[in-house]
């Protein structure tokens, strides 16, 4: 599991998936009460290596960390989790004598980052396009923290760092001049050390495949329940096509005849994204739907 700024979100996912545990103070390992599982709490940067090279079956971390640890071929991305979204961006001073406006201006200069591998790969291409070789190439230097201060303190001409809201970047007098990648939290598993014909058993320990799949499905259900609500309404049958265009559902709506036998009407039950539900209800009423209401999802399987 990932520690740090996404810890609370990870705990919500585990609780929704009914992974029950008690973690003692200052201990990074605990046993799950209702499954034969041990949880290990690690810094995000360590998780891909423990999953990819060790005997850890599942992990939650960021896509950026997987690439930085060069574990993309040793782990499988099972599920995007929808939180922890941010961008890994190239940033440089916006004003003053050190101001840099384009990525081409930064090529061949000093770049500080905590993403050495990803940054080096990115600037390798930029340097090649600029025709820079040998000592002319961009210098990438690692700093573990306070990356945003590197330019003001004279250590760098630009940085590569994660950006969420951009407040810290702007406070440091920086602006984004390029985006290296977009990232979010993902559920990952290990891969078998040899090629397998069945992807459902592509794990180092295929005997754990059933439990891994069960946990993946539970987490997917939690994410869907957080994203969707169930919208139910009655609509004249001759308006059903228009109604389905408004509410196509996650896969498709469930359409049923009314109990009273009125052939002119049907009942529709469909999953709708929470963020659009108010507009969807207005649109349904506008085309002639009746008895429109919404039911909150506590959990589901999708």
DSSP string, 204-216: SSGGGHHHHHHHH
Per residue in 132-183, pLDDT tens? 999 999 999 999 888 999 999 999 999 999 999 899 999 999 999 999 999 9
Q: According to the model, what pLDDT value does residue 4 have?
A: 56
With cut-offs at 50, 70 and 90, classify the pLDDT of residue 259.
Answer: confident
Residues 110 and 155: beta-carbon distance below 8 Å: yes
Closest CA to 30 of 61, 1, 52: 1
Given the candidates 3.30.1370.140, 3.40.50.620, 3.30.70.120, 1.20.1440.230, the CATH classification of the domain at 228-296 is 3.30.70.120
Q: According to the model, what pLDDT value does residue 163 have?
A: 94
Q: Which residue has the tokens 């190239």?
A: 90
What are the domain boundaries of the chain?
7-83+185-204, 86-183, 228-296
Q: According to the model, what pLDDT value does residue 124 have?
A: 96
Per residue in 189-231, pLDDT tens? 999 888 877 777 889 999 999 999 999 999 999 999 999 999 9
Strands of the sheet containing 174-183, edge to edge, are 139-142, 110-113, 158-163, 86-93, 174-183
How many angstroms separate the first and last alpha carbons of the chain? 23
With cut-offs at 50, 70 and 90, classify the pLDDT of residue 232.
Answer: very high
Closest CA to 214 of 60, 17, 61: 17
Per-residue tokens: 25: 């103070």
Across residues 242-267, what is the average pLDDT?
Answer: 90
Which residues make Cβ contacts (< 8 Å) with residue 5, sequence separation at least 6? 84
CB atoms closer than 10 angstroms to residue 96: 7
In CATH, which superfamily holds the domain spanning 7-83+185-204? Periplasmic binding protein-like II (3.40.190.10)
Instruction: Give pTM, 2 decimals.
Output: 0.86
Q: According to the model, what pLDDT value does residue 94 have?
A: 93
Across residues 111-136, what is the average pLDDT?
Answer: 95
With cut-offs at 50, 70 and 90, classify the pLDDT of residue 26.
Answer: confident
294 forms bridges with which residues in the sheet? 231
Q: Answer positive or negative: Cα dihedral of 148, 153, 158, 159.
A: negative
Q: What is the DSSP letter of 24?
A: P
What is the C-alpha separation between 106 and 100, in angstroms, rounded? 7
The answer on pLDDT for 69 being more than 70 is yes
Per-residue tokens: 202: 């592509």
CATH architecture of 86-183: 3-Layer(aba) Sandwich (3.40)
CB atoms closer than 10 angstroms to residue 149: 15
What is the C-alpha separation between 295 and 131, in angstroms, rounded? 60
Q: According to the model, what pLDDT value does residue 195 have?
A: 80
Per-residue tokens: 204: 């180092």
What is the C-alpha separation between 249 and 87, in angstroms, rounded? 30
Residues 229 and 299: beta-carbon distance below 8 Å: no
Across residues 55-78, what is the average pLDDT?
Answer: 95
Closest CA to 101 of 181, 180, 179, 178: 178
Q: Do 7-83+185-204 and 228-296 fold alike per CATH?
A: no
Q: How far is the CA of 272 from the CAs of 154, 161, 279, in angstroms?
A: 51, 35, 11
Per residue in 203-214, pLDDT tens? 999 999 999 999
With cut-offs at 50, 70 and 90, classify the pLDDT of residue 184.
Answer: very high
């Amino acid at each position: 599991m990932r520690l740090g700024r996404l810890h609370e979100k990870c705990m919500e996912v585990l609780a929704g998936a009914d992974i029950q545990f008690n973690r003692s103070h200052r201990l990074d390992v605990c046993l799950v009460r209702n499954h034969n599982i041990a949880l290990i709490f690690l810094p995000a940067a360590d998780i891909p290596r423990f999953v990819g090279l060790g005997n850890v079956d599942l992990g939650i971390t960021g896509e950026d960390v997987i690439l930085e640890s060069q574990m993309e071929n040793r782990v499988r991305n099972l599920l995007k989790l929808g939180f922890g979204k941010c961008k890994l961006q190239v940033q440089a001073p916006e004003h003053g004598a050190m101001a840099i406006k384009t990525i081409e201006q930064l090529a061949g200069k000093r770049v500080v980052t905590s993403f050495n591998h990803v940054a080096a790969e990115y600037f390798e291409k930029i340097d090649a396009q600029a025709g820079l070789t040998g000592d002319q190439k961009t210098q990438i230097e690692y700093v573990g923290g306070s990356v945003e201060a590197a330019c003001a303190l004279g250590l760098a001409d630009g940085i590569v760092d994660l950006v969420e809201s951009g407040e810290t970047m702007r406070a440091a007098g920086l602006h984004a001049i390029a985006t290296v990648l977009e990232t979010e939290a993902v559920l990952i598993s290990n891969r078998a050390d040899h090629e397998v014909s069945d992807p459902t058993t592509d794990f180092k320990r295929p005997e754990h495949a059933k439990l891994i799949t069960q946990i993946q499905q539970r987490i997917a259900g939690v994410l869907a329940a957080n994203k969707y609500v169930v919208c139910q309404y009655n609509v004249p049958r001759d308006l059903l096509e228009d109604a389905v265009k408004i509410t196509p559902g996650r896969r498709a709506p469930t359409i049923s005849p009314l109990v009273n036998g009125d052939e002119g009407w049907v009942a529709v039950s469909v999953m709708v994204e929470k963020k659009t539900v108010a507009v969807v209800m207005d649109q349904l009423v506008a085309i002639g739907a009746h008895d429109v209401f919404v039911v909150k999802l506590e959990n589901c399987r999708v």
